Amino acid sequence: MKLLILGGSGFLSGTLARVALAQGHDVSVVTRGQRPLPAGVKPIMVDRKDKDAFASTISSANQSWDLVADCICFSPEDAEQDITVFAGLTKHLVFVSTDSVYQEHPRPFPVSEAFEQFTQLSYGQNKRKAEEVFINLGQKLNWTILRPGHIYGPGSELGCLPEHSRNPDLLGHLKANKPLRLVGGGHFLQMPVFSEDLARMILDCAGKPSTYGQIFNAPGPDIIPSWRYYEIIAEHLGVELKVEEVMISDLLKREPGRLQFCSHRVYSTEAAKNAGLYRPDTPVEKGLKIHVDAKLKASS
Ligand SMILES: NC(=O)c1ccc[n+]([C@@H]2O[C@H](COP(=O)([O-])OP(=O)(O)OC[C@H]3O[C@@H](n4cnc5c(N)ncnc54)[C@H](OP(=O)(O)O)[C@@H]3O)[C@@H](O)[C@H]2O)c1
């Protein structure tokens, strides 16, 4: 199929480009040209924040696409731009939203897409407002919304919980036998999703009417306490995991915006199953080993 990715050289978007190319698709990517692109993609260079330039660059490409995957939609304005520019140019658009749209407390266990209480934090609120633009759209464009939780894999930093979230020196810290300071002792449950799996899920949406106008949680297959994420990494390095507990109230006093990490992030995938959509299936042990090996290789 002909795929257009908004993004394409970043973590998730770059992974999506590589997986799509490996599946044999024709892949175009929209970026500002600030990072190297995966070999084999067709570049379209424009800043989406420049609305006029974006509209004219896409229109002058004189193309249409089977699927547009927007990996960098963060606001209702971005969503409106997608609709204005791509209605008529694509059969289907997938918007990568986030589990951060959900209200942190209280929430059901597991959280299904039918849970309609939303966060007050700005990142998740803006993603939710972007979702609402698609939801209120009517028939102009077939859309699908995916809500991943923590995404991991080569190309990103390791770490899923404060105070070691996306810590560039996590491996050095563990190798030095230093304890990790984890909020709530790392007991919050998560379902980290391997980036290549999420890419496959995005691609599997393409042209599936059962996914049109639908929102799907997009977690990984395993429910683990966050400390286990770090223990898997420590095991792979052959070191012992030591954890020091950071009080939840202390973290939130310092950084109220980190509330999204202070709840169990456990999500139902029944909706995706019922739609016949691929559900991420790489076991977290396997995916994290791939991620750690990539980090070790990059630093050697
Ligand atoms: N990371 C997570 O754990 C997580 C969890 C849930 C949801 N998400 C969602 O997943 C998505 C992907 O996240 P990511 O962090 O992996 O992003 P990413 O793929 O790194 O996205 C950045 C890409 O977009 C391009 N870009 C950035 N600003 C642009 C602009 N104004 N105009 C055109 N291109 C632009 C960048 O290239 P240039 O710099 O060259 O322009 C780069 O290719 C996001 O929507 C995020 O909300 C992430």
60-71 pLDDT, tens digit each = 999 999 999 999
127-152, pLDDT tens digit by residue?
999 999 999 997 789 999 999 999 99
pLDDT of residue 140: 85
The alpha carbon dihedral of 270, 273, 275, 278 has a sign of positive
What spacing in Å lies between the alpha carbon of 250 and ligand 1's midpoint? 30
Query: Is pLDDT of 259 > 80?
Result: yes
48 close to 78: Cβ distance less than 8 angstroms: yes
Q: What is the pLDDT of residue 174?
A: 98
pLDDT of 119 reads 98
What confidence tens digit (pLDDT) does each residue in 78-92 have?
Answer: 999 999 999 999 999
SS3 per residue for 137-175:
CCCCCCEEEEECCCEECCCCCCCEECCEECCCCHHHHHH
pLDDT at position 134 is: 97
Q: Please identify which residue in the block is written with the tokens 């609402």.
A: 132
Q: Quick one: DSSP state of residue 206?
A: T
Does the CA dihedral 285-290-292-293 come out positive or negative?
Answer: positive
Q: Give the residue whose CA is nearest to atom 13 of ligand 1.
A: 12
Site to substitute for ligand 1 among 18, 71, 261, most atoms within 8 A of C-beta: 71
Give the model's pLDDT for residue 138. Answer: 75
Q: Please, how many CA atoms are within 13 Å of residue 220, restricted to the half-sphere of its CB?
A: 24
Q: Report the nearest-CA residue for atom 22 of ligand 1.
A: 10
The mean pLDDT of 48-73, rounded to a whole number, is 98
Mutation to probe ligand 1, out of 4, 6, 13, 52 (largest number of atoms < 8 A from CB): 13
Q: Give the residue-averaged pLDDT of 155-177.
A: 98
268-279: pLDDT as tens digits:
999 999 999 999
Question: Ligand 1 centre and the CA of 180: distance in Å?
Answer: 28
Among protein residues, the one with the nearest Cα to ligand 1's atom 2 is: 151
Q: How far, in Å, is the centroid of ligand 1 from the Cα of 150?
A: 14
DSSP 98: -
Q: Residues enclosing ligand 1, CB less than 6 A?
A: 7-13, 30-35, 47-49, 71-72, 96, 98, 148, 150-151
pLDDT at 115 over 80: yes
Q: How much distance in Å is there from the Cα of 64 to the middle of ligand 1?
A: 22
Residue having the nearest C-alpha atom to atom 18 of ligand 1: 10
pLDDT digits (tens, 9 = 90+) for 186-238: 999 999 999 999 999 999 999 999 999 999 999 999 999 999 999 999 999 99
Give all domains of the chain, ordered by start, each with its CATH number.
2-155+191-222+265-281 (3.40.50.720)
Rounded to an integer, the average pLDDT of 143-167 is 98
SS percent in the chain: helix, strand, coil, step 5: 40, 20, 40
User: What one-letter code names the amino acid at 152?
Assistant: Y
Tokens representing 238? 């052959």
In the three-class reduction of DSSP (H, G, I as helix; E, B as strand; rest coil), residue 84 is classed as helix
